[in-house]
Amino acid sequence: MDAALLLALGLLAQGLGLSRGVPGGPSALYPWHRVPGRVRRAWVIPSISVSENYKRIPYTLVQIKSDKQQLGSIIYSIQGPGVDEEPRGVFSIDKFSGKVFLNAMLDREKTDRFRLRAFALDLGGSTLEDPTDLEIVVVDQNDNRPVFREEVFTGHVLEGAAPGTFVTRAEATDADDPETDNAALRYSIVAQGGPELFSIDELTGEIRTVQVGLDREVVAVYNLTLQVADMSGDGLTATAFALITLDDINDHAPEFTRDEFFLEAVEAVSGVDVGRLEVQDADLPGSPNWVASFSILEGDPDGHFSIRTDPGTNAGILSVAKPLDHESCALHQLRVAVQNEAPLHAAAPKPRRGQATVSVRVQDTNEAPEFLENPLRTSLAEGAAPGTHVAIFSARDPDTQQLQRLSYSKDYDPEDWLQVDGATGRIQTRRALSPASPFLKSGWYRAIILASDDASPPRTATGTLSIEILEVNDHAPVLNPPAGSLCGDPGRGPGLLLGATDEDLPPHAAPFHFQLSPGVPELARNWSVTQVNASHARLRPRFRVAEGLHRLSLLLRDSGQPPRQREQLLNVTVCRCAQDGACLPANAARRAAGAGLSLGALLVALASAALLLLLLLLAALLGRFRRRPLDKTLLHGPLDDPRDNVLDYHEQGGGEEDQDAYDINQLRHPIGLRAPGVPLGRPPLRCDAPFSHRPPQPPRGLPSSPTDIADFIREGLEAADGDPSVPPYDTALIYDYEGDGSVAGTLSSILSSLGDEDQGYDYLRDWGPRFTRLADMYGHS
Ligand SMILES: *[C@@H]1O[C@H](CO)[C@@H](O)[C@H](O)[C@H]1NC(C)=O
Ligand SMILES: *[C@@H]1O[C@H](CO)[C@@H](O)[C@H](O)[C@H]1NC(C)=O
Ligand SMILES: *[C@@H]1O[C@H](CO)[C@@H](O)[C@H](O)[C@H]1NC(C)=O
Ligand SMILES: *[C@@H]1O[C@H](CO)[C@@H](O)[C@H](O)[C@H]1NC(C)=O
């Protein structure tokens, strides 16, 4: 027997020992053993087994040896996971003896085998043998319980399901070696909480029904207690629950709680509930197997009733769809049926009360009267006298079909125009209605009349009375506007557009007829009137008509039946014609007429202008005299510093210099043309103002000392007073400035070339004492 075989037997014996968990002494292993003459490279050494959870450590697993060298001249080592790789330090080796030790407790569920490499070196460190593999297998122990995947398994099955129907599957796992019994699981049902209705497959965990008679209406949910055990059912166990819900089927039909229902309904109303038809159904509330749906089988051919389902209680609610009438039918006998929305299951028992009789008594109530015609339309002539009959607005009472119990009254009559006979409904006017009433809409007047019966409480009907007010032609048309102007030239211009208005409404108004008054036939000789449209006509002169106001008499007629007409005066102002035949504006006309003005008129105008100028001059002079004492007090006040009050006095010559705004010469020549034979009285003559320009005086230099200011001003004032060419600075006004190109020329052209020496102001003395000073200043004597 060769050495290899011996080793194999040794190993076998050792492996068996380990699997029993009782390791014997370490066996020697010759991993590099060679059969002479045969080279066995990569010799696979059988694996070494060691049980997990072995606690007596360190424990000598095996001894490796090389048969090449003597003991003591070889150094052994191992490498690999469990030695110098994670998990480190599980195994170690005695480098001289070659004994391999287990240093830690093993867990097969973490690492089930280790693969190490063994080396044999000489003392010098050189390799004696090729490295070889050493495999250590961890042997399983039943150290893990089975575990259910869920704590509670849920399943559904229809009630009444056949035996063997799959419900759900329970699953468990076991961490132990699945190759061994340690992980061989077996399922079972420990408790069912009642009769044995479910079974579980012990190998697969599938739960199925085993019996008929699952009834949701008896038990809706089953709670099974499940167990799983390893070691084929003898080992460790775990527990879970299975909740099995029975799903509803429509195995119960809805049934009325009674065979007959007695209800009462009110007549003449619709949409009201009459009563409830209670039903019961054992199926799942809220599901289509439970919800009732009702139908009326017979007794309601006219569709007076409808039934809807109360979603909360499943009862049928009978309501009135069309108003009931006690007088035509006092008792309705209905046959109603109920069923589910979902079809009934074939296995369900036939319902006993799937139909019921419903008796509905109709109560008599007081119904409102009704107007025979509503709204009632009628018509009445405009301005109808008080007491005029309008209409009879009568109603009937559906309860009794009698008329005499009703009474009538007004509800709405904004003009308080109508009067209602309370007993008969006859309506007449109380007074005349104003045609201008705001309640007259497009010729219609609306009133509301009530008809009430004498029951208590009374019922009332509301009727609308619409009265058309028929227009009467009581107004003649009126010229609008009653005056106008036109060009008197017959060939030119559009003439005068005449309009008219009429207070009546159509058909008693337009079209209007315009006519020159037939009473004044000579009018038609000079004027013509042509109709433009329904409301307008055009007046034109036939011949050239003198300018000025003409009063024409016109006859206007409307189209009413009978027509109304009226003679009216029209003020026509015949104006001066413009080129296009329109009227020239007033001032333009005057200018156009300027050439033709008589000389007398011109002289009168010029004289008026001269007088106005003179008056202005006088007013200015007066103003200057009045100012002088004021100046004195200002300048000689004992405490006043004159510099506070005198400003810019070197502008005194501004009136003379300021000639851009107007030609001041025009103001200095106020003498009208004296036409021969036209006395003008004594014309105002001036002899002071020169007609030529005086050169403006050079501005005087300021005094060097403030004490000289008063003298300086006084000198300035005297110079100004002595300067006759300067009109008062603040009273010069432009009162008329003629434009260029006038035939009459400018006013200044009227001036004579008289020198101022020739003029005399002596007459000023005649004007009274107030003018004596003027006369002193300007007069010769
Ligand atoms: C099922 O039964 C077990 C034991 O009787 C109980 O602990 C568990 O709560 C039950 N589950 C349900 C959902 O009722
Ligand atoms: C008609 O016109 C002529 C000439 O302008 C005038 O003399 C006459 O009075 C006018 N007739 C009437 C009726 O206005
Ligand atoms: C009649 O003619 C006048 C003037 O052309 C115009 O203002 C008016 O609106 C017209 N009326 C009708 C009813 O056409
Ligand atoms: C027409 O003219 C006359 C006389 O000038 C005057 O009295 C009357 O008020 C005028 N009528 C109208 C409507 O202008």
* pLDDT at 121 > cutoff 70: yes
Mean pLDDT of 714-739: 61
What local confidence, expressed as pLDDT, does residue 401 receive? 54
Question: Rounded distance, CA 582 to CA 488, Å?
Answer: 10
What local confidence, expressed as pLDDT, does residue 172 receive? 95
Distance of alpha carbon 241 from the chain centroid = 59
Q: What percent of the chain has pLDDT over 70?
A: 74
**Pocket-testing residue among 525, 539, 572, ligand 2, by greatest number of atoms within 8 A of Cβ:** 525
Question: Rounded distance, CA 168 to CA 243, Å?
Answer: 10
Instruction: Find all residues with CB under 8 Å of 534, minimum gap 6, and list them.
Output: 510, 511, 512
Phi/psi at 349 (5° precision): -70, 155
Of 116-130, 212-226, 561-575, 624-638, which one has max mean pLDDT? 212-226
pLDDT bin (cut points 50, 70, 90) of residue 705 is: low
Q: Atom 11 (ligand 4): residue with closest C-alpha?
A: 571
Give the tokens for residue 267.
Answer: 């007549």
What local confidence, expressed as pLDDT, does residue 574 receive? 85
**Pocket-testing residue among 489, 526, 542, 549, ligand 2, by greatest number of atoms within 8 A of Cβ:** 526
Q: Atom 8 (ligand 2): residue with closest C-alpha?
A: 526
User: Counting ligands in written order, which one lies closest to the CA of residue 244?
Assistant: 1
Task: Flag whether 664 is in a domain.
Answer: no
Name the least confident of 263-277, 509-523, 547-561, 718-732: 718-732
CA dihedral 207→209→215→219, nearest 10 degrees, is: -40
Three-state SS sequence of 392-421: ECCEECCCCCCCCCCEEEEEECCCCCEEEC
What local confidence, expressed as pLDDT, does residue 679 receive? 43
- Please check whether residues 462 and 490 belong to one and the same domain: no
Q: How many angstroms separate the alpha carbon of residue 514 from the centre of ligand 3?
A: 14
Q: Is the CB of 419 under 6 A from ligand 2?
A: no
Of 26-35, 54-63, 68-77, which one has max mean pLDDT? 54-63
- Please check whether residues 189 and 308 belong to one and the same domain: no
Query: Cβ atoms within 10 A of the Cβ of 454, count?
Result: 12
Which ligand 2 atom is nearest residue 523's CA? Answer: 13
Which ligand 4 atom is nearest residue 482's CA? Answer: 13
Task: Flag whether 668 is in a domain.
Answer: no
Q: Atom 2 (ligand 2): residue with closest C-alpha?
A: 526
* pLDDT at 209 > cutoff 90: yes
* pLDDT at 751 > cutoff 60: no
Side-chain-side CA neighbours of 95 within 13 Å: the count stands at 8
Domain of 560, in residue numbers = 478-597
What local confidence, expressed as pLDDT, does residue 687 receive? 41
Q: How many angstroms separate the alpha carbon of residue 473 from the centre of ligand 3?
A: 23
Question: Rounded distance, CA 511 to CA 676, Å?
Answer: 64
Of 495, 510, 512, 501, nearest in space to 479 by CA: 501
Name the least confident of 210-214, 438-442, 499-503: 499-503
What local confidence, expressed as pLDDT, does residue 654 receive? 46
Mean pLDDT of 179-208: 92
Mean pLDDT of 97-119: 90
Task: Flag whether 591 is in a domain.
Answer: yes
Q: Is the CB of 223 under 6 A from ligand 1?
A: yes
Could you tell me which residues are beta bridge partners of residue 498? 537
Task: Flag whether 128 is in a domain.
Answer: yes
What local confidence, expressed as pLDDT, does residue 224 receive? 94
User: Counting ligands in written order, which one lies closest to the CA of residue 545?
Assistant: 2
pLDDT tens readout for residues 269-323? 889 999 999 999 999 999 999 999 999 999 999 999 999 999 999 999 999 999 9
Which ligand 2 atom is nearest residue 544's CA? Answer: 5
pLDDT bin (cut points 50, 70, 90) of residue 597 is: very low
Name the least confident of 282-286, 526-530, 763-767: 763-767
**Pocket-testing residue among 221, 241, 244, 245, ligand 1, by greatest number of atoms within 8 A of Cβ:** 241
* pLDDT at 719 > cutoff 80: no
- Please check whether residues 560 and 545 belong to one and the same domain: yes
Give the CATH number for residue 332: 2.60.40.60
What local confidence, expressed as pLDDT, does residue 715 receive? 79
> Beta strands 536-541 and 496-501: pairing type?
antiparallel
Give the tokens for residue 327.
Answer: 């007088």
Q: Which residue has the higher pLDDT, 612 or 199?
A: 199
What local confidence, expressed as pLDDT, does residue 355 receive? 94
What local confidence, expressed as pLDDT, does residue 591 receive? 58
Mean pLDDT of 86-105: 89
Residues in contact with ligand 4 by the CB-under-6-Å rule are 482-483, 549, 571
- Please check whether residues 406 and 455 belong to one and the same domain: yes
Instruction: Find all residues with CB under 8 Å of 666, minimum gap 6, and list them.
Output: 737, 746, 747, 748
- Please check whether residues 167 and 288 belong to one and the same domain: no
Decide which of 470, 496, 530 is a domain's last residue. Answer: 470
Q: How many helices (H) and strands (E) does the chain have?
A: 7, 43
Of 70-74, 643-647, 697-701, which one has max mean pLDDT? 70-74
Question: Rounded distance, CA 102 to CA 109, Å?
Answer: 18
Give the tokens for residue 729.
Answer: 């600075």
Question: Rounded distance, CA 273 to CA 291, Å?
Answer: 20
Q: Do 780 and 762 touch, CB atoms closer than 8 A? A: yes
Q: Which residue has the higher pLDDT, 195 or 261?
A: 261
Q: Is the CB of 551 under 6 A from ligand 2?
A: no
What local confidence, expressed as pLDDT, does residue 592 receive? 52
User: Counting ligands in written order, which one lies closest to the CA of residue 509?
Assistant: 3
List helix spans (H) across 415-561.
Answer: 523-526
pLDDT tens readout for residues 328-371? 888 999 999 999 989 998 888 888 999 999 999 998 877 788 88
Q: Do 418 and 446 touch, CB atoms closer than 8 A? A: no
For 471-564, list the strands marked E by DSSP.
478-479, 483-487, 496-501, 513-516, 527-531, 536-541, 548-557
What local confidence, expressed as pLDDT, does residue 15 receive? 39
**Pocket-testing residue among 478, 480, 551, ligand 4, by greatest number of atoms within 8 A of Cβ:** 551
- Please check whether residues 392 and 352 belong to one and the same domain: no
Instruction: Find all residues with CB under 8 Å of 443, minimum gap 6, and list them.
Output: 468, 469, 470, 471, 505
Task: Flag whether 674 is in a domain.
Answer: no
Q: What is the mean pLDDT of the chain?
A: 77
Tokens 């497959």 belong to 201
* pLDDT at 180 > cutoff 80: yes
* pLDDT at 681 > cutoff 90: no
* pLDDT at 602 > cutoff 60: no
* pLDDT at 647 > cutoff 50: no
Q: How many angstroms separate the alpha carbon of residue 93 from the centre of ligand 3?
A: 133
Question: Rounded distance, CA 628 to CA 644, Å?
Answer: 18
Question: Rounded distance, CA 242 to CA 224, Å?
Answer: 5
Instruction: Find all residues with CB under 8 Å of 742, minimum gap 6, and list them.
Output: 594
Q: Is the CB of 535 under 6 A from ligand 3?
A: yes
Q: Please report how the helices 599-636 and 709-722 are oriented relative to each other, as an axis angle in degrees rounded to 10.
A: 160
First to last CA, the chain: 192
pTM above 0.85, yes or no: no
Give the tokens for residue 94.
Answer: 């005695």
Q: How many angstroms separate the alpha carbon of residue 160 from the centre of ligand 1?
A: 24
- Please check whether residues 452 and 486 belong to one and the same domain: no
Question: Rounded distance, CA 416 to CA 384, Å?
Answer: 14
CA dihedral 203→209→210→212, nearest 10 degrees, is: -170
Question: Rounded distance, CA 772 to CA 377, Å?
Answer: 95
- Please check whether residues 105 and 36 belong to one and the same domain: yes
Q: How many angstroms separate the alpha carbon of residue 536 from the centre of ligand 3?
A: 6
Mean pLDDT of 575-600: 62
Distance of alpha carbon 281 from the chain centroid = 50
User: Counting ligands in written order, which one lies closest to the CA of residue 151?
Assistant: 1
Decide which of 74, 108, 139 is a domain's last residue. Answer: 139
Question: Rounded distance, CA 434 to CA 417, Å?
Answer: 10
Q: Is the CB of 220 under 6 A from ligand 1?
A: no
Q: How many angstroms separate the alpha carbon of residue 571 from the centre of ligand 4?
A: 6
pLDDT bin (cut points 50, 70, 90) of residue 665 is: low
pLDDT tens readout for residues 363-408? 887 778 888 888 899 988 887 888 889 889 888 877 765 545 788 9
- Please check whether residues 43 and 124 belong to one and the same domain: yes
**Pocket-testing residue among 530, 536, 538, ligand 3, by greatest number of atoms within 8 A of Cβ:** 536
- Please check whether residues 444 and 416 belong to one and the same domain: yes
pLDDT bin (cut points 50, 70, 90) of residue 561 is: confident
Task: Flag whether 518 is in a domain.
Answer: yes
What local confidence, expressed as pLDDT, does residue 700 receive? 60
Side-chain-side CA neighbours of 100 within 13 Å: the count stands at 27
Question: Rounded distance, CA 48 to CA 754, Å?
Answer: 164
- Please check whether residues 431 and 512 belong to one and the same domain: no
**Pocket-testing residue among 571, 572, 573, ligand 4, by greatest number of atoms within 8 A of Cβ:** 571
Question: Rounded distance, CA 372 to CA 394, Å?
Answer: 6
* pLDDT at 497 > cutoff 80: yes
Task: Flag whether 415 is in a domain.
Answer: yes
Number of domains composing the chain: 6
User: Counting ligands in written order, which one lies closest to the CA of residue 483?
Assistant: 4
Q: Which residue has the higher pLDDT, 525 or 241?
A: 241
Q: How many angstroms separate the alpha carbon of residue 533 from the centre of ligand 3?
A: 6
Decide which of 308, 340, 363 is a domain's last residue. Answer: 363
Q: Which residue has the higher pLDDT, 565 or 630?
A: 565
Of 733, 731, 711, 729, nearest in space to 721 by CA: 729
* pLDDT at 485 > cutoff 90: no
pLDDT tens readout for residues 34-64? 555 554 444 457 788 899 988 888 899 888 8
What local confidence, expressed as pLDDT, does residue 754 receive? 47
Q: How many angstroms separate the alpha carbon of residue 546 from the centre of ligand 3?
A: 29
Mean pLDDT of 204-233: 92
Phi/psi at 438 (5° precision): -70, -10
Q: Is the CB of 526 under 6 A from ligand 2?
A: yes
Mean pLDDT of 103-110: 90
* pLDDT at 110 > cutoff 50: yes
Burial class (CB in 10 A: 0-12, 13-18, 19+), 206: middle
DSSP structural state of residue 183: G
Question: Rounded distance, CA 507 to CA 239, Å?
Answer: 106
Mean pLDDT of 634-640: 44
What local confidence, expressed as pLDDT, does residue 747 receive? 52
Q: Calculate ∠ Cα 717-722-724, nearest 5°.
A: 120
Sign of the four-CA dihedral 29, 32, 35, 40: positive
Phi/psi at 394 (5° precision): -110, 155
Of 6, 25, 137, 115, nearest in space to 67 by CA: 6
Task: Flag whether 699 is in a domain.
Answer: no
Give the tokens for residue 577.
Answer: 């014609």
- Please check whether residues 177 and 98 belong to one and the same domain: no
Give the tokens for residue 591.
Answer: 């200018």
